[in-house]
Amino acid sequence: MVGILGEKVGMSQVFSEKGKALPVTVIKAGPCFVVQKKSDSREGYNAIQLGYGEIKEKSLNKPEKGHFEKAKVGSLKYLREFRVENVDEYQLGQEIKVDLFKVGDYVDVKGTSKGKGFAGGVKRWGFRGGPASHGSSHHRRVGSIGASSFPSRVLPGTKMAGRMGGNSSVAKKLEVVKIIPEENLILVKGAIPGVKKGLVVISRSKKQEIREIQEKQELPEKKEKEKKEEKQKKQETQEKQETKKKQEKKEPQQTQEKQKKEEKQS
């Protein structure tokens, strides 16, 4: 599964062929460069490391400079790994652009959500709050969070007030509406996490890959079912034709027998 790195530009809208307005997020994706290859024999898994975003050389330390010089690429700001099946298909310094995807594909976009600071339980978790009438001192408080005798402590993971946002989140199965390769832009239907100019990782949707694998597995079964149905239909048609022929043969014999009986009676 190969993806690409990019930056969130902002949201806009695009009109479809039927004239329907589609909300889209504009992402400036790539070009990315292959900085390192990791093989199963050495690192224990197959992956490639992609770099994105230009940065001044003076802001790098010596190990980072050597890492980029080995791949024969310029100084890059972001580095991310992508798992692949075959590492030999890629070369160090290879450029990966936004034409990796096509219109109609489904992608997963990973980013860091907007940080909203310290928030209460109503805003952070959607609690309904207390009574809103006068005299109530429990409007937006969390309420009881612990037990009395057992376990006599607050259980970890209890929903309460705290820091909200700023977490890694993924928007799954977003449709690619438009691609502008000249400007390295990709337009995705819907919203994605993160602020403007924030780093995002675009990869092929896992749900789509699972569906394609299932369809490939179901293909031979479907073909077998179709073949069986065709055989059954042929057998049924042959049986019907045979029964018709038998009836056609029997009919003249029956008519002759009836005529003979009538002649005898007369």
Going along the chain from its start, the domains and CATH numbers come out as 3-114+166-214 (2.40.30.10), 116-164 (no CATH)
Residue 249 backbone dihedrals phi, psi, to 5 degrees:
-70, -35
First and final C-alpha spacing in the chain:
92
User: What's the DSSP call for residue 58?
Assistant: G
pLDDT above 70 for 1: no
Residue 29 and residue 194: Cα distance in Å, rounded? 15
Residue 239 and residue 237: Cα distance in Å, rounded? 5
Residue 6 and residue 220: Cα distance in Å, rounded? 39
Cis peptide before 181 (omega within 30 of 0): no
- Whether residue 220 contacts residue 47, with contact meaning beta carbons closer than 8 Å, is answered with no
In three-state secondary structure terms, 159 is coil
Residue 72 backbone dihedrals phi, psi, to 5 degrees:
60, 50
What does the mean pLDDT of the chain come to?
A: 86
Taken in order 40, 83, 62, 96, is the CA torsion positive or negative? Answer: positive
Question: pLDDT digits over 129-180, tens only?
Answer: 888 888 888 889 888 887 778 888 888 889 999 999 999 999 998 999 999 9
Helix (H) or strand (E) holding 82: strand 76-83
Residue 264 and residue 120: Cα distance in Å, rounded? 108
Taken in order 40, 52, 165, 175, is the CA torsion positive or negative? Answer: negative
Q: What pLDDT does residue 147 have? A: 76
Question: pLDDT digits over 19-65, tens only?
Answer: 899 999 999 987 899 998 888 888 888 899 999 988 888 888 899 88
In three-state secondary structure terms, 186 is strand
pLDDT above 80 for 259: no
pLDDT above 80 for 261: no
pTM assigned to the model = 0.70
pLDDT above 90 for 217: no
